[in-house]
Structure 1
């Protein structure tokens, strides 16, 4: 039991940068396996909460735009929902990562002001962006259905 507590202390918050960075080198015990899987779940919960929070607001905007009579608001919202609901999430992750990695790390000059892009070249930023957009597309369709039933 003492060995399991040491494992939890070493690897429990590994996903947050607390504790050991390397994986155990010997045979994995059941306690080590559960601790390592649990530490990875921290990131899943983090991404789920943030993507739901950001995606909710975007989904409301998309649903209202899709329910609008104006084709300038309706068509982009329809295409956004069609694109993100109609393509596999893995492909969305891949394309976003490839596009964001192409950004210059030094930043982009916009009218003499340098917009920092180094944080966008990280894998977590692409994952959060894709999950937010995907959540927004699915939620927008649900909200649009609710708007139509009013």
Structure 2
């Protein structure tokens, strides 16, 4: 289990895990709303499951294990590891090549003609750049050559990026 991500205090994880102070960096951008929407969706899903499945079958879903923090970690792990290793190694961008799982494989569908030698981009599906930022954070690589509405609330000294 050590190979699974921890996300402890790490802003390289999905932005729906960020602190309020860290989220302020996205204030005024599409990324802020996407992070808040994703977080609220996860809260709603947890509350629904907790009030029904977890409580009704507490012997199978002990409250010490099925906590909101663990649920949030699970959502972040799924968001960050959504595709197989081969697909994760590709550059991503909204509206690019679509990957679909079939049985034990992945089929790629291109939405445009690719010339020989042209870079192929993989899409996480019908997500906006803001949603990609809130869930996957390799955002800057994903949106090369695209216009993106990201505004920094404050600027600080570089910290080793």
Please indicate, yes or no, whether the TM-score normalized by the shorter chain is above 0.5.
no
TM-score w.r.t. length of structure 1: 0.33
TM-score w.r.t. length of structure 2: 0.32
* Larger helix fraction of residues: 1
* Larger strand fraction of residues: 2
Structure showing greater relative contact order (alpha-carbon pairs closer than 8 Å, 6 or more residues apart): 2
